[in-house]
Amino acid sequence: MTRIRMSDRPAAEGPPSDGRAFIAPPRQMPAVLRLGLRLARRRTGSDLLPVALLTWSPRAAVGAAVLESLATRPVGRIDARVLKLVRLTVSFTVGCPFCVGLNTAGWESLLSPEELAVTQGLRTGTDVATLTPPELLAIEFARRTSQTSPTPSAALGEQLRGAFSEREIVVLAAACAQVNYWARLVQGMGCDLAD
């Protein structure tokens, strides 16, 4: 059986006609990556252009899939609600429509409209009584580590150690990094929409 390398595959006819990226996905890709695209589509309910573009580099595609499937899950006080607050805060902080589109899915089941506004930077957390001090700290951490240039500090680290375990701090940092990874990748490929 002859193996076909991505560099041997024909390119699509230039960038997508709708201008959603610098390049178009390859016309052909390995079966395992096609399966991965189908699974991503089933999980999110939409075609994910950035994921399709990653198939130009199978190693990058597999690495992104591993990161997405293993990076962050609820641990201790870092529950699904805190992860949603963090992911949304990062998405809005870095200004990534793709990330916002993915991470806003299902927000209504975990957050109030006022809490969503805090992740968007439209309200301060201190005027939303339903946000706990650890949640406010997680939001601040997400914002400070995702802005250009990141501004973590020793004082913030001390606050984190007072509110979270070491493992929980790593999960917070990984959740921020995970969304930042996708944001920079999507922006680097010229993608602007999640559909």
Q: Is 69 exposed, middle or buried (0-12, 13-18, 19+ CB in 10 A)?
A: exposed
* pLDDT of 4 higher than 50: no
Structure tokens at 18: 């709708």
Residue with the larger pLDDT of the pair 64 and 14: 64
Q: Are 143 and 93 in contact (CB under 8 A)?
A: yes
Peptide bond into 149 cis (omega under 30): yes
Highest-scoring range by mean pLDDT, 13-17, 34-38, 150-154, 157-161: 157-161
159 has pLDDT over 50: yes
Nearest to 128 by CA among 141, 117, 143: 117
Q: What percent of the chain has pLDDT over 90?
A: 55
- pLDDT (0 to 100) of residue 19: 57
Place of tokens 């946000």: 131
Beta-carbon contacts of 160 under 8 Å, excluding residues fewer than 6 positions away, are: 137, 141, 169, 172
Q: Work out the pLDDT band at 18, boundaries 50, 70, 90.
A: low
Predicted pLDDT of residue 192: 65
Return the pLDDT at 13.
Answer: 44
pLDDT band of 154, cuts 50, 70, 90:
very high
- Asked if 168 and 78 touch (Cβ cutoff 8 Å), the reply is yes
Q: Give pTM, 2 decimals.
A: 0.84
The full set of domains in the chain, from first to last, is 29-70 (no CATH), 80-184 (1.20.1290.10)
pLDDT, the chain, mean: 86
pLDDT interval class at 11 (50, 70, 90): very low
Confidence of residue 42 (pLDDT cuts 50, 70, 90): confident
